[in-house]
Amino acid sequence: MTYQYKAMTADGTKVSGVVEASDEYTAVMQVKNSCPIVLEIRPAREKGGILAKEIGKPKVDHKSLSVMCSQFSIILQSGVPIDTCMMLISRQVKDKKLKKMLEKSAEGVSKGAGIASSFEKNCPELPATFIETIRAGEESGTIENSFETLHKYYDKSYKTRQKVKQAMSYPIFVLIVAIVVLAIVMIKVVPTITATFIDLDGEVPAITQGMIAVSEFTRNNIWWMVLILLIFTVIFKIYTNREKGKIWWNKVKLKVPVLGNIAVLNGAAQFANTMTALLAAGLSVSRALEITGRVLDNYVMGREVSDMTGSIEEGRRLGDCMRDSKYFPNALTEMCVIGEETGELETTLETIGSYYDNEAQNATAKAIQKLEPTIMILMALFAGFIVIAIYLPMFTMYELM
């Protein structure tokens, strides 16, 4: 159970907090370890209601993970016990999920629980890469090196994602503005102009009639259109969450022109960077492949990586398994072969990971450079159509007035 307490330290300072224990007596004894005088202790009430629940699937931010891992690496190298280190970092970390996880994990580790198992128990949203890297470092006695490896891994991942988001922000903003303007024109502006044309009883050009027809259809069926879109979205989500649909959709992502190439490059970068982090932590190649297959963004590429695990355990080399892949680039495959032959697989993967990070960013930047003028041309054509459709009948209106 969770108990809330108020206590007094040896120097007379009043403190309060929560503690987990099997009963009230055990809770009091735990509090007395740090505060000799317990003023009040009672079972904590769980907060209920909608406001207490997290909306959507909770995620742990890569930037927060990177900062936390960096703090662990630095503090552990100074010889501070791991449970004390957890409590120190919990007071500094801003992410609420990580803060809660560190506080509970510190209690578990102080009672003899494993570091990785405590993290996994108290924060199920943590990536598999994080948990397994910590577990490998814990078993090998190089936990501070594991945290340093994770710091570099998540710092690189965060910076890469930020660059992609920054590049995509302008095209998305322009597209949203275009949709809003289109909706306003079709629902508000065109009906007003249409009423004027009808009052003057003039002849309306074909292009204007087409615009009016589209506007009337949109106004009369807007809710049906929204409903159909929602139904289609729900059906699509249900289908793509199933095994067959998930495989089909992720194959489509890899085959779409331009975007498919970016997805392949991102997948190659993720594979190389994740394998580098896991191998650096001391995991075997087969175990590293199993975890990497679970964390890749593209499900089909992840399945290919997971399927390699059995072949590795049977004695095949990673390079030979990679050659059977349908989606990973040949350069990545050949670099894996070279890395195995030279005994520098980890270093080789780190180098090729940086290469594919840059390639993915360059491919994304080039695609956006082509997308921006395309959007501007389409907006210009749309604006030109609206202007022509409105101004043509105006000449007729002047004759009738």
* pLDDT tens, residue by residue, 200-254: 665 667 777 777 777 778 778 878 888 998 999 999 999 888 888 888 998 898 8
Percent pLDDT > 90 in the chain is: 2
Tell me what pLDDT residue 138 has. Answer: 81
Q: How far apart are CA 153 and CA 372, in angstroms?
A: 32
Q: How many other C-beta atoms lie within 10 A of the C-beta of residue 206?
A: 9
DSSP secondary structure of 162-225:
HHHHHHHHHHHHHHHHHHHHHHHIIIIIHHHHHHHHHHHTPPPPHHHHHHHHHHHHHHHHHHHH
pLDDT tier at 401, thresholds 50, 70, 90? low
Q: How far apart are CA 115 and CA 135, in angstroms?
A: 7
The single-letter code of the amino acid at 62 is H
pLDDT at 308 over 60: yes
Tell me what pLDDT residue 21 has. Answer: 66
Compare 215 and 255 and report the one with higher pLDDT.
255
Tell me what pLDDT residue 231 has. Answer: 94
Which of 25-39, 42-56, 225-239, 325-339 is predicted with the least confidence, judged by mean pLDDT? 42-56
For residues 241 and 350, the answer to whether their CB atoms sit within 8 Å is: no
Scan for tokens 């090196």, then name that residue: 145
For residues 352 and 332, the answer to whether their CB atoms sit within 8 Å is: yes
Tell me what pLDDT residue 312 has. Answer: 86
Tell me what pLDDT residue 52 has. Answer: 38
Tokens of 23: 């009963």
pLDDT at 65 over 90: no
* pLDDT tens, residue by residue, 145-201: 888 888 888 887 787 777 777 766 777 777 787 778 777 777 777 777 666 666 666
Tell me what pLDDT residue 276 has. Answer: 86
Tokens of 31: 């509090």
Which of 30-39, 96-105, 127-136, 249-258 is predicted with the least confidence, judged by mean pLDDT? 30-39
Q: How far apart are CA 55 and CA 258, in angstroms?
A: 34
DSSP H/E element including 121: helix 115-122
DSSP secondary structure of 221-279:
HHHHHHHHHHHHHHHHHHHHHSHHHHHHHHHHHHHSTTHHHHHHHHHHHHHHHHHHHHH
Q: How far apart are CA 390 and CA 387, in angstroms?
A: 5
pLDDT at 54 over 70: no
The conformation of residue 282, written as its DSSP 8-state character, comes to T
Sheet with 2-8, side-by-side order of all strands: 14-20, 2-8, 37-43
**Mean pLDDT along residues 381-393:** 74
Percent pLDDT > 70 in the chain is: 88
Q: How far apart are CA 19 and CA 43, in angstroms?
A: 10
For the chain, the average pLDDT equals 79
Residues 6+ apart with CB under 8 A from 83: 106, 107, 109, 110
Q: How far apart are CA 168 and CA 162, in angstroms?
A: 10
Tell me what pLDDT residue 48 has. Answer: 43
For residues 318 and 305, the answer to whether their CB atoms sit within 8 Å is: no
